[in-house]
Amino acid sequence: MEDCQQYQSDKDEMSNQQAGVDQRKLVRKALRSRGVLILEGQAFQFDTVDIGTGGVCILSVRQLITGQNCRIEFSLSVQGRKFDIVAQAKVSYCICGRDGFRIGMQFVEISDKACSSAISLYMR
């Protein structure tokens, strides 16, 4: 795992200005799924934490930089049907924790309209 202590120190300085403010604008719902993040030609596994119509929170051993663009792939089950979500995403935040990095990903483009609809249906 990358240097969490230094990262945490840097993050603490930035978060002093935003203490107690939740930056989310859309509702999130818990989602436990395993996925793959593709960044600069390399693939990394992650676990999902929660999802909303605008993005997903993941847990990864890999630190990402706010603003980075990548591709993410994961599965979502809705009403007994499995959807393989493939999306271009942008890193909104990356917070170091004891289990790895908690990374907020904003959806930039979801490859399939049916998958976008499945996310909306999952949120109901």
β partners of residue 57: 50, 104
pLDDT over threshold 60, residue 81? yes
pLDDT over threshold 80, residue 79? yes
Q: Residue 27: what pLDDT?
A: 86
Find tokens 């009403």 and name the residue.
Answer: 79
**The one-letter amino acid at 14:** M
Burial (0-12, 13-18, 19+ Cβ within 10 Å), 59 = middle
Q: What percent of the chain has pLDDT over 70?
A: 79
pLDDT in tens, 13-62: 444 334 334 455 668 999 999 999 999 999 999 999 999 999 999 999 99
Asked whether 46 and 60 are in contact (CB, 8 A), the reply is yes
Q: Residue 12: what pLDDT?
A: 44
Give the residue extent of every domain in the chain.
Answer: 4-15+26-122
Report the pLDDT averaged over residues 3-11: 47
Q: May I ask the CATH class of domain 4-15+26-122?
A: mainly beta
Q: Residue 4: what pLDDT?
A: 52
